[in-house]
Amino acid sequence: MREVLSCVDAKSGRAHYAKQRLEGLRGVYASPVGAAGRVYVVGRNGVTAVLQHGPEFKLLATNTLDDSFTASPVIVGDELFLRGHQHLYCVAGK
C-alpha cells in the first residue's frame, strides 16, 4: 500500500494536486498538522514527511525515528510533539 495525499481548494473544490505519493511513509493513521508554512504527516513506521504548505506539492524533508506513530502531532509555539508507542518526542526550532 502506498500512502497518498491530495490538496483541494476549500472555496472552489478544485484539486491543486491529487493522489500524490508520500514515499517512505507506511500506515498513516494520524491527521496531518500544519504551522509556519509547513505540513507534517507521520507514519506508523516512524517516518515524518515535512511538506511545504501551498497549492503545489513540495516535499521539504523526511525524518525517521525508531518508534511507531498513530497519534497526530501537536504543535505548541515552535515545538512539535510526537507521541510514539515507546516515547514522547519534542522537536524544537532554533
State the DSSP code for 71.
S
**Residues spanned by the domain of 82:** 4-92
CB count within 10 Å of CB 59 equals 15
Work out the average pLDDT over 60-65. Answer: 95
**Contact, 42 vs 30, CB < 8 A?**
yes
> Looking at the predicted structure, is the pLDDT value of residue 94 above 80?
no
Summarised one tens digit per residue, pLDDT across range 23-52 is 888 999 999 999 989 999 999 999 999 999
**CATH no. for residue 60?**
2.40.128.630
Work out the average pLDDT over 13-21. Answer: 93
**Contact, 67 vs 48, CB < 8 A?**
no
The radius of gyration computed from the CA coordinates of the chain, to the nearest angstrom, equals 13
The total domain count for the chain is 1
